[in-house]
């Protein structure tokens, strides 16, 4: 990897609102990223996601994004993003899925088939809480062909809190000005890499993405922001993964 539902309206941007009528006490959504590394016998996994797993979550009012690495040589992974209104709903849905008789009946043949010949050995899971600045996921335009999932690693928990503050107070504002189109931002609450933040942006195509980041690096606000002492050493490493939406993605 290279270094790298209801509609709510935020200022000038439309987003997916909380997926239940009662908002979280924090007013911020919860995101669950699942990153699957596929085995050779992964045929049928997309059908399982599209026709069985995601519809089961939809019946619980949970929408899901589905992605594949943008570069063809990296397509041995699938990434799913589930959007919850709060952590309580996340816990309830995790159990409710297995109490869903329709899901269990539809999924069992696939489970039986892949138990001796796994489609994936395991998957990484990241549970993230949305930022104050962007408390709800923002829907991309339909002409999106590229997403970018970036993960910023902090040297300790205090630095990570300052990195979140950097996004909330300054950095996202510059993104908005230069065409780095926000989808969602999350502080990782639990996952294999901590402390960290993960965020997703979208673009019409790769040249549009590159032009937006060139504008960001040359924007007059960026040198001022990154030199502020309160943001020193907030992220010591970052990774970036370019993604394409799968046809059945709801984002």
**Cα separation, 150 vs 185, whole angstroms:** 10
Tell me what the mean pLDDT of segment 12-32 comes to. Answer: 56
205 SS3 class:
coil
Tokens of 107: 């999924």
Question: Which conformational region is residue 233 in: left (phi greater than 0), alpha (psi within -120 to 50 degrees), or beta?
Answer: left
**Cα separation, 207 vs 204, whole angstroms:** 8
Q: What is the pLDDT of residues 54-88, one digit of tens each?
A: 999 999 999 999 999 998 777 799 999 999 999 99
Q: What is the pLDDT of residues 156-205, one digit of tens each?
A: 999 999 999 999 999 999 999 999 999 999 999 999 999 999 999 999 99
Q: Residue 206, Cβ neighbours under 10 Å: how many?
A: 14
Q: Residue 53, Cβ neighbours under 10 Å: how many?
A: 20
Q: What is the value of pTM for the model shown? A: 0.88
Instruction: Answer yes or no: is pLDDT of 15 > 50.
Output: no
Tokens of 118: 């796994």
| Residue 122 CA to its chain's centroid (Å) | 18
For every residue of 21-84, DSSP letters joined together read SSPPTTS--EEEEEEEEE-TT-TTHHHHIIIIIHHHHHTTT-EEEEEEESSGGG-SEEEEEEEE
**Cα separation, 59 vs 174, whole angstroms:** 37
Phi, psi for 49 (deg, rounded to 5): -60, -50
Q: What is the pLDDT of residues 102-157, one digit of tens each?
A: 999 999 999 999 999 999 988 999 999 999 999 999 999 999 999 999 999 999 99
Q: Residue 66, Cβ neighbours under 10 Å: how many?
A: 22
Q: Which domains does the chain have, with CATH numbers?
A: 7-245 (3.30.70.100)
């Amino acid at each position: 990897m290279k270094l790298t539902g209801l509609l709510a309206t935020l200022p000038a941007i439309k987003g997916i609102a909380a997926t239940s009528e009662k908002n979280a006490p924090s007013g911020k959504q919860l995101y669950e990223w699942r990153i699957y590394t596929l085995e050779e016998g992964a045929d049928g996994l997309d059908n399982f996601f599209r026709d069985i797993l995601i519809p089961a979550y939809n019946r619980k009012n949970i929408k899901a994004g589905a992605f594949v690495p943008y570069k063809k040589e990296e397509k041995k992974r699938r990434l799913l993003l589930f959007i919850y209104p709060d952590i309580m709903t996340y816990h309830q849905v995790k159990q409710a899925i297995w109490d869903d008789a329709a899901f269990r009946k539809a999924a069992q043949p696939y489970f039986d088939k892949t138990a001796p010949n796994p489609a994936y050995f395991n998957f990484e899971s990241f549970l993230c809480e949305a930022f104050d600045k962007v408390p709800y996921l923002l829907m991309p335009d339909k002409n999106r062909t590229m997403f970018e999932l970036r993960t910023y690693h902090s040297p300790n928990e205090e630095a990570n809190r300052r990195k979140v503050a950097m996004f909330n107070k300054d950095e996202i504002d510059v993104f908005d000005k230069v065409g780095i189109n926000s989808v969602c931002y999350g502080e990782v609450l639990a996952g294999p890499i901590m402390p960290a933040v993960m965020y997703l942006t979208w673009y019409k195509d790769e040249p549009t993405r590159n032009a937006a980041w060139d504008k960001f690096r040359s924007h007059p606000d960026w040198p001022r922001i990154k030199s502020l002492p309160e943001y020193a050493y907030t992220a010591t490493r970052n990774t970036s993964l370019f993604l394409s939406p799968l046809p059945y993605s709801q984002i």
